[in-house]
Structure 1
Amino acid sequence: MTRLAIDQLTLWITAAANEHSLDLPAYVEERTGASHRATLAALRRLVDAQWLTRSGTTRRPVFGPGALRQVARSYTLHGLMEDVVWQRDFAPHFLLPRHVARMVQHGFTELVNNAIDHSGGTSVTVSLRQTPTHAQLLVSDDGCGVFDKICDTYELTDARHAMLELSKGRLTTQPQAHTGRGLFFSSQLADVFDIHANGRAFQRRAWEGNAWKDGKGLPRQGSSIYMAMALESTRTLEQVLEQWSVDGSGIAFDQTRVMLNLVVGAGQMLDSRAQARRVAARLPQFKRAEVDFAGVTDVGHAFADELFRVFARAHQDVELVPLNMTPRIAALVQAARNA
């Protein structure tokens, strides 16, 4: 008897159970070419593992999706419409709390649209999985890689600096068509958010605030973006939008936070005016910018002066709010403001 690979079946069995609840064994046999006996054995294993439910009678079983659900599909990017893919291929097969479904839909459509409009690739693979506790989304394209794309567009030389700009928000490589909200807000919705591109990776964990940290990159060409959120999350799309709006309405995106640990690597110092100008890049797009010193133990006089005196006086309509400073850094910042 040929033993069907369960890990391959789980990529499409959820949709199959919804669409072929009364004839699932026959559908699996036709799709895989497996024998009737092998198919029934595989379906029993999927029921036991909670990928499927089974009701009805022995002779007339009725199958349905279980507590574990997954749909994984690959698409050609040319002519792809992210809303159609979501509504047709994914949304009908998941049972998520309403507010979580709204956040998953937002992340799904934004990340797939990024692959369509920005990757320069030919294909994208999308996987959405539901467990008893989480929803997990992975979008992978075969394009140029998000960090390389940003570096080329903004004349940057380091993936870390590309991530710095992404973390500020309102960053886009096509300003005539996009506002730079999609990837930023998707990251804020998730409990876990990872960005992989061409061997580099950065990750964000919601319980660690807004911090972005180095991750272990995947050895593949293109971008892979993973987001996961708890089904019991109290977060909502509206609340996230409101957090980045100065007036709390969630309409304008006019507040940001700059994570200084993305300017230099571990053990390096923020010591130059060039680094300060890199931090200040695009901040005039915002009304309020929190400058987060978490993980930074010291800075130089030139850095503090350039950011908190030179830039601050040239852009008095931008409120700079330093956070998580050591006593020495706080003294340097205050000295620069008083100069």
Structure 2
Amino acid sequence: MSHPLIEDRSAQCALMTRLVFDHLTNWITAAASEHSLDLAAHIEERTGASRRSAQAALKRLVDAGWLTRSGTARRAVFTPGALRQVARSYTLHGLQEDLPWQRDFAPHFALPRHVERMVQHGFTELMNNAADHSGGTSVTVSLRQTPTHVQLLVSDDGIGVFDKICAAFSLEDPQHAMLELSKGRLTSAPDAHTGRGLFFSSQLADVFDIHANNTAYQRRAWETSGWKKGRALPRQGSSIYMAIALNTTRTLDGVMNAWSRAGDGIDFDQTRVQLRLLTSDGKALDSRAAARRVGSRLTTFKRAEIDFEGVTDVGHGFTDELFRVFAKANPQVELVAVNATPRIEALVKSAKAA
């Protein structure tokens, strides 16, 4: 039987080895691109490791799929493998979001062209949001490619997106902030932004998560339910994660076209409002105040689908306020009820006819 102290030291060594390996994967992709002929020497110089340790690390990285080795036994050539990752931190003051993409990230990944275009859009939009809206001082970005997906994580140390929206629009609940965010065209700086960035980034992704202010919401492209609450990460600022399948048929133009009535992606003039963001399972939407929250900012669109999925009970006041009062005051906005139960459809029809 081994001694507990020996077991403890062995566990510490194993943990240290794992942590070193995890650290290597944050920068080995870029290093392999820039030092393909002298990668072992570069690892030695960068980490202070011995030649033997560097060679062992390279073998492990090749075996794990992070590197590809070619050349000869005496003259090895290393290039990025099927697994790739770049992680960098930036000061937000004066940040030009296109430069990190062009300089530090794009050259080191091998993505299908249409996927790369979507990742570029999400990357620059989320970086710009952090720079212009977070109120923070720094942002950390990680981009990882696997054989099946590309994954982007952008984290800042600012106020947090939900608190920012609540403060800018006099909202009291992060749930109401998420409702507004889900409509699109939401910005706290209308003179400089159109409110497209976060909305379209979420629509491009197969998986999209927002963590801020001890609140989390997630969207899965294959689920018809849209946005739903997630498990929050206790951290300062905002963390936004998006993942896109490499074999997706989705394109940036296709996503933008879907939210344009003309189908050309020029105008962002139609939206969908998920009513389940206003309530929890089994609870009714019964108030005119809730209906006014739904109608908030819909005058910036020409068409709005009011999505009742997950909502089984609404009151007369809610449907009257939205489908009669709001509709008559704003005839230029077409309101369309979708995924409604027969009873809710009848209430909507009654309100429109009143």
Class of the TM-score when normalised by the shorter of the 2 chains: over 0.9
Judge conservation of contact 2:134–2:160 (CA < 8 Å) in 1: yes
Write the letter of the residue equivalent to 2:96. M
Question: How does 1:23-62 map onto structure 2 within 5 Å?
Answer: 23-62=38-77
Q: Which amino acid aligns with 1:266?
A: D
2:331 aligns with one of 288, 295, 316: 316
Deviation at 1:269, TM superposition (A): 1.6
Q: Which structure 2 residues correspond to residues 200-215 of structure 1 after superposition, within 5 A?
A: 200-209=215-224, 211-215=226-230
Using structure 2 for the length normalisation, give the TM-score.
0.94
What is the rounded CA distance, in whole Å, between the counterparts of 2:214 and 2:352 in structure 1?
40
Q: Which residue of 1 aligns with 2:255?
A: 240
Is 165-174 or 201-210 further displaced after alignment? Answer: 201-210
- Tell me what 2:243 maps to: 228
1:14 aligns with 2:37: no
* 3-state secondary structure, aligned to 1:313: helix
Could you say which residue in structure 1 is the equivalent of 2:345?
330
SS in 2 for 1:304: helix
SS at match of 2:254: helix
Counterpart of 1:240 in 2: which secondary structure? helix
1:277 to 289, 292, 309: 292
Give 3-state SS (helix, strand or coil) of 2:119's partner.
helix
Match of 1:294 among 297, 300, 309: 309
Q: In the alignment, what sits opposite 1:86?
A: 101
C-alpha distance in 1 between matches for 2:57 and 2:320: 67
SS at 1:299's partner residue?
coil
- Please tell me whether the aligned partners of residues 3 and 42 of structure 1 are also in contact (alpha carbons under 8 angstroms): no
CA contact (8 A) 2:282 2:312 kept: no
Instruction: Note the 1:32-181 alignment, pairs <5 A.
Output: 32-181=47-196
Q: What's the secondary structure of 1:79's corresponding residue?
A: coil
Q: Percent identity?
A: 73
TM-score, with normalisation over the residues of structure 1? 0.98
- CA distance in 1 between partners of 2:94 and 2:335 (Å): 43
Residue aligning to 2:198: 183
1:79 Cα deviation after fit = 1.3
TM-aligned CA deviation for residue 267 of structure 1: 3.3
Contact preservation (8 Å) 1:191, 1:207? yes
Per-residue CA deviation, residues 253-296 of structure 1 (Å, 9 max, x unaligned), is 00000000111233322000000000000000000000000000
Distance 1:12 1:148 in 2: 33
Write the distance in 1 (CA, Å) between the matches of 2:256 and 2:89.
Answer: 30
Partners of 2:296 and 2:280 lie apart in 1 by 19
Paired amino acid for 1:160: Q
Alpha-carbon RMSD? 1.1
Cα separation, 2, equivalents of 1:157 and 1:272: 17
Q: Describe the superposition over 1:6-49 as per-residue Cα deviations: whole angstroms up to 9, x where unpaired.
A: 11100000000000000100000111111111111111000000
Q: How far apart in 2 are the matches of 1:236 and 1:260?
A: 27
In 2: Cα distance, 1:206 partner to 1:230 partner:
11
Residue identity matched to 1:123: S
Structure 1 residue runs of 4 or more that deviate by more than 6 Å after TM superposition: none
- 1:165 is paired with a residue whose SS is helix
Q: Which amino acid aligns with 1:163?
A: M
Structure 2: how far apart are the matches of 1:204 and 1:71? 24
Aligned-partner Cα distance in 2 for 1:265–1:82: 38
Determine the C-alpha separation between the residues in 1 that align with 2:163 and 2:91: 22
Structure 1 residue 198, shift from structure 2 partner: 1.8
Which 5+ residue runs of structure 1 have no aligned equivalent?
none
The structure-2 alpha-carbon separation of the partners of 1:256 and 1:210, relative to structure 1 and needing over 3 Å to count, comes to: farther
Mapped partners of 1:244, 1:3: distance in 2? 49
Indicate conservation of the 8 Å contact 1:3/1:38, yes or no.
no
Aligned-partner Cα distance in 2 for 1:103–1:297: 36
Partner amino acid, structure 1, of 2:187: T
Deviation at 1:72, TM superposition (A): 0.4
Aligned with 2:222: secondary structure? helix
Q: What is the deviation of 1:208?
A: 1.2
Number of equivalenced pairs: 339
Deviation at 1:210, TM superposition (A): 6.1
Distance in 2 (CA, whole Å) between partners of 1:250 and 1:75 is: 32
SS of the aligned residue for 1:229 comes to strand
